[in-house]
């Protein structure tokens, strides 16, 4: 048995492009990994007719319908009322929710607006999920067979809109209940391998032919490409799901293993930080064109202070000479964007920090500043350690924001390879 899920995101701000809809990514990932099949997702404005129509349609098709948003205290929070009206359920004030809302404001020593009490109105027969990080509760309602779908009943789950409220509520309260309610789901196995250094088409070209037999047996293969990285998703359903995914993983790791940096939702900076800490390796950074973005990514990882000495944003030539001891003659001869200068920056950072390893980045982010010899996007990344140095040239001709992300991704991957004893030249599998 496979339970089909449809997700309805409410919010006019989502359709106006004022707010990024992160629910569509996060919820689909959580549900798919748990063995549910998300078959449709829509976004509707904060208007009663649109919300009611979307819920009615989804209840006619899916075993599970999830709504996000529209449960708050303001005039455009209409999901609760529209769903109650659609299902023919009266709204009753829930004393537990009312107490929770009052306590929320008391703990923060804030005056409770009278309008917040509307969030305590709960449709008859609904199960309440208390909100650990806000006031609007989540709601679980079971819809009987025949009311909207002749083939069977459905579960309707209403979740608050803010991600910091929705995520823990879904993980800790909703998903366990869904698993219990649909205990007869067929076995499902999935693994996502994250890679860097190969393009999506090249990854598919390498791994797809050897996986054909498993694909014919029911393995599902998927790809997700982002700047400078590609995810490979291996999944299967049925009694042999785990075995098929395990076999497929072995094939993929054999073919592109050095390019795989992690799995699931791991980020490259997390993987690198973990290895630095495990190896007790001290790192120093010297950045020019990335403006400290490499340091920013690493310092997002808790505990990195035990490994990261610090970084220098040496944007001007004078800064490169003053802070990193890059000889002015070297800058004059080769230019700031060059392999010799990248090497000197890395050596300077290594010596200043008395570190085990240093990364330096210099390049042309654009849109101006390029030449025929050094076009916009030219980058040199240097990795220096006490016994040697390695410089990689790249051409990342992109907008400035993407340029900075891709360049730091390349730098992190170079560092990952060094930490793991892999060849620093990526090569071509």
* Domains, the chain, with CATH or none: 4-181 (3.40.980.10), 188-263 (3.30.70.2860), 268-419 (3.90.950.20)
- The pTM assigned to this predicted structure is 0.79
Region 221-226: mean pLDDT is 93
Say which range, 146-155, 229-238, 362-371, has the weakest mean pLDDT: 146-155
Residue 238 pLDDT > 90: no
Whether residue 381 contacts residue 357, with contact meaning beta carbons closer than 8 Å, is answered with no
Residue 9 contacts residue 24 (beta carbons within 8 Å): yes
- State pLDDT tens for residues 8-35: 999 999 999 888 899 988 999 899 888 8
pLDDT band of residue 65 (cuts 50, 70, 90) is: very high
Mean pLDDT value across the chain: 94
- Which residues, at least 6 apart from 363, have a Cβ–Cβ distance to it below 8 Å? 288, 289, 290, 337, 377, 378, 379, 380, 394, 396, 403, 407
pLDDT bin (cut points 50, 70, 90) of residue 281 is very high
pLDDT in tens, 177-199: 999 999 877 788 899 999 999 99
User: Taking 70 as the threshold, does the pLDDT of residue 1 lie above it?
Assistant: no
Cα 86 from Cα 359, distance rounded (Å): 60
Cis bond before residue 289 (omega within 30° of 0):
no
In order of 16, 268, 281, 320, the CA distances from 296 in angstroms are 30, 13, 19, 20
Cα within 13 Å of Cα(102), Cβ side? 6
| Beta-sheet strand order (sheet of 138-143) | 37-44, 4-10, 64-68, 154-159, 138-143, 127-129
Instruction: Judge whether 64 and 30 are in contact, CB under 8 Å.
Output: no
Higher pLDDT, 152 or 388: 388
- Which uninterrupted H or E stretch holds 304? none
């Amino acid at each position: 048995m496979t339970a089909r899920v449809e997700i309805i995101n409410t919010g006019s701000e989502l359709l106006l492009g004022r707010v990024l809809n992160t629910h569509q990514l996060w919820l689909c990932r959580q549900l798919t990994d748990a063995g549910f099949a998300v078959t449709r997702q829509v976004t509707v404005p904060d208007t009663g007719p649109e919300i009611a129509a979307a819920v009615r349609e989804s209840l006619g098709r899916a075993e599970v319908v999830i709504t996000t948003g529209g449960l708050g205290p303001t005039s455009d929070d209409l999901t609760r009322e529209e769903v109650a009206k659609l299902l023919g359920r009266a709204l009753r004030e829930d004393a537990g929710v009312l107490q929770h809302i009052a306590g929320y404001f008391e703990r923060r020593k804030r005056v409770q607006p009278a309008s917040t009490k509307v969030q305590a109105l709960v449709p008859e027969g609904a199960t309440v999920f208390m909100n650990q990080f806000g006031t609007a509760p989540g709601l679980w309602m079971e819809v009987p067979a025949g009311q909207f779908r002749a083939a069977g009943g459905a579960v309707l789950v209403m979740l608050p809109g803010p991600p910091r409220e929705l995520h823990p509520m879904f993980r800790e309260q909703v998903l366990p209940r869904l698993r219990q309610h649909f205990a007869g789901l067929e076995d499902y196995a999935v693994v996502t391998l994250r890679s860097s250094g190969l393009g999506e088409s090249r990854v598919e070209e390498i791994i797809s032919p050897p996986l054909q037999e498993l694909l014919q047996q029911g393995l599902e293969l998927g790809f997700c490409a982002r700047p400078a990285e590609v995810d490979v998703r291996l999944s299967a359903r049925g009694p042999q799901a785990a075995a098929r995914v395990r076999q497929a993983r072995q094939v993929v790791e054999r073919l592109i293993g050095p390019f795989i940096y992690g799995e699931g939702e791991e980020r490259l900076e997390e993987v690198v930080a973990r290895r630095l800490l495990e190896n007790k390796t001290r790192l120093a950074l010297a950045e020019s064109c990335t403006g400290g973005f490499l340091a920013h990514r690493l310092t997002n990882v808790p505990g990195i202070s035990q490994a990261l000495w610090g970084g220098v944003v040496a944007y001007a030539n004078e800064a490169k000479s003053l802070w990193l001891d890059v000889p002015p003659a070297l800058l004059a001869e080769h230019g700031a964007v060059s392999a010799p200068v990248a090497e000197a920056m890395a050596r300077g950072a290594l010596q200043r920090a008395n570190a085990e390893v240093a990364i330096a980045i210099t390049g042309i982010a654009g849109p101006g500043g390029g030449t025929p010899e050094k076009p916009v996007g030219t980058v040199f990344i240097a990795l220096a350690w006490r016994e040697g140095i390695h410089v990689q040239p790249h051409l990342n001709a992109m907008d400035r924001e993407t340029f900075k992300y891709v360049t730091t991704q390349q730098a992190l991957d170079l560092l990952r390879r060094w930490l793991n004893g892999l060849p620093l030249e990526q090569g071509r599998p």
